[in-house]
């Protein structure tokens, strides 16, 4: 398992994370990465920590799918969350 504690970022974070609606591909908000935890700003990969620069959320009704991407478009993490009923 990759650990945030044992890895160093491959390069400095560009400073913002853009959040998009996956259904419309419209920018929903821009987050100041300096105000977020390292575990949100970076994703561990086999090559080291990579900065998350884009998040795409897609509401499927019962779940929300979240994809986190790096600056080069690389998919870093994908999560499916159940919505509260």
Global pTM? 0.85
27 to each of 18, 22, 30, 55, 68, how far by Cα in Å?
7, 9, 8, 10, 14
Q: Give me the mean pLDDT over the 61-81 stretch.
A: 96
Question: What pLDDT score does 14 carry?
Answer: 92
Question: What pLDDT score does 47 carry?
Answer: 83
Band of pLDDT at residue 83, cut at 50, 70 and 90: confident
Q: Is the pLDDT of residue 2 over 60?
A: no
- Mean pLDDT estimate for the chain: 89
Q: Which residue has the tokens 């499927």?
A: 60
């Amino acid at each position: 398992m990759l650990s945030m504690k044992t890895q160093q970022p491959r390069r400095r974070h560009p400073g913002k994370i853009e959040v998009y609606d996956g259904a419309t591909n419209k920018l929903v908000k821009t987050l100041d990465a300096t105000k977020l935890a390292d575990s949100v700003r970076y994703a561990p990969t086999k090559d080291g920590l990579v900065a998350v620069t884009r998040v795409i959320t897609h509401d499927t009704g019962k779940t929300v799918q979240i994809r986190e991407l790096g600056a080069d478009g690389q998919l870093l993490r994908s999560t499916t969350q159940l919505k509260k009923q």
